[in-house]
Amino acid sequence: MAVFMQSLLSGILIGGVYALIGIGLTLIFGVMRVINFAHGDILMVGMYLTYLAFTSHFGIDPFVSVLITFPLMFLFGGFLQKVFINRVLNAVAQNQILLTIGLGLIMSNTVMLIFTSDYKILSTSYSSSTFQVGGGVSVSVPLLISFLITSVITVALYWFLLKTDTGQAIRATAQDRDAAQLMGINVKRMSIIAFGLGSALAGTAGALISPTYYIFPQVGSVFTLKAFVITVLGGMGSVVGATLGGILIGITESLSAVYISSGWKDVIVFVLFLLVLLFKPSGLMGKSRT
């Protein structure tokens, strides 16, 4: 029982971070219909920003550095959108994919030139600290903090999308770009905000993982794939779906590692993924649009 509770709990906690990565990707897809293959690399840039902030003489804590990473990554994402992505919005899908893959490669190789390919490990005082919740179940402190931050950001994002004018304009753009434009919404600006937000979320996820994971220039590919599974599983473009998808993947990985085999956990995740697509091709929360 302790093993079950332990793995369920760590699954949920790690799933929270997965959700954050997925939400970023789904937001970008929802508004632009562009599949962002550089998502993992954007996350990697967020990790290196956190690393820089931590190793600079200010010694900023990785969790506090979210306050810096979020706005910086927002600007970075907005810049990418304005300079690159906006130009291919009406191009064929292959061109968009090639562009984002290319941007991702440039990011990871630039970072490799600057920081070399060495693994960077952030060792905070709490990196391996835990507290006992009873019954032999322990909770990793950094994982819990990152889960709480993720929850706060997700709730704030819902509020922003549902209640504010800009949020509603973003949703309108996602629903129908042409109609939104006819209603007087500046869709190009909405795209910049959406890509900025998506990048900021990915960067934040990077910052949140940094104290418990390791950082290297090619780390993005691991998370790009994961983000896709989460997004498609939840329904492309659905923020609620991505949240659900992230946590679901976290729990599935964790439980299948214990009850089947950790070597098979990716297989289980992809089988689950295929099953969902088989019975609900638009994803868990997706609305198929024709």
Partner 1 sequence: MRKNFLALVATLSFSPCLLAQKIGVINTITGAEAPIGENITNGIKLAEEDLKKKGINLQLVWEDDTGKPQISMSAMEKLATRDNVVGVVGPYTSACSNAVSKLAEKYKVPLLIPAAAKEEITRQGLKYVFRMNAPADKYASSLIDAALSLGKPKSIAFIYENTDFGTSTSKTAKDYVATKGIQVVADQSYPKGAADYRSTLAQIKSKNPDLVFMVSYAGEAILLMRQSREVGLQPQAFLGAGAGFTTADFANERAISENVISCTQWTQDVNWPGAKEFDKRYKAKFGKVPSYHAACAYASMMIMAETAKNSGGDRAKTRDALKAGKWNGVMGEVQFADYDGFNNQNNHQMLVQQIISGNYETILPSRFATKKAVYPFPKWK
Residues that bind partner 1 (CB under 8 A): 2-3, 6-7, 10-11, 14, 109, 112, 116-119, 121, 123, 127-130, 138, 140, 209, 212-214, 216, 218-219, 222, 250, 253-255, 257-258, 261-263, 265-266
Measured over the CA atoms of residue 229, residue 64, residue 100 and residue 290, the dihedral's sign is positive
Q: How far is the CB of 215 from partner 1 (least distance, A)?
A: 9
Q: Which is nearer to partner 1, 122 or 161 (CB)?
A: 122
Q: How far is the CB of 121 from partner 1 (least distance, A)?
A: 6
Q: How far is the CB of 73 from partner 1 (least distance, A)?
A: 20
Radius of gyration of the chain (CA): 19
The CA distance from 271 to 274, in Å, is 5
Inter-residue contact 215 to 121 (CB < 8 Å): yes
What are residue 131's phi and psi, to 5 degrees? -135, 150
Q: Which is nearer to partner 1, 14 or 242 (CB)?
A: 14
The CA distance from 180 to 200, in Å, is 24
Q: How far is the CB of 129 from partner 1 (least distance, A)?
A: 8
In 3D space, the residue among 258, 238, 271, 174 whose CA is nearest the CA of residue 19 turns out to be 238
The CA distance from 61 to 126, in Å, is 11
Cβ-proximal residues to 175 (8 Å cutoff; 6+ apart), any chain: none
Q: Which is nearer to partner 1, 95 or 129 (CB)?
A: 129
Q: How far is the CB of 252 from partner 1 (least distance, A)?
A: 11
Q: How far is the CB of 56 from partner 1 (least distance, A)?
A: 19
Measured over the CA atoms of residue 128, residue 129, residue 132 and residue 133, the dihedral's sign is negative
Q: Which is nearer to partner 1, 119 or 279 (CB)?
A: 119
Q: Which is nearer to partner 1, 120 or 177 (CB)?
A: 120
Distances (CA, A) of 279 to 26, 93, 151, 194, 287: 21, 26, 29, 30, 14
Q: Which is nearer to partner 1, 92 or 113 (CB)?
A: 113
In 3D space, the residue among 147, 153, 154 whose CA is nearest the CA of residue 240 turns out to be 154
Q: How far is the CB of 258 from partner 1 (least distance, A)?
A: 5
Q: Which is nearer to partner 1, 138 or 181 (CB)?
A: 138
What are residue 151's phi and psi, to 5 degrees? -60, -45
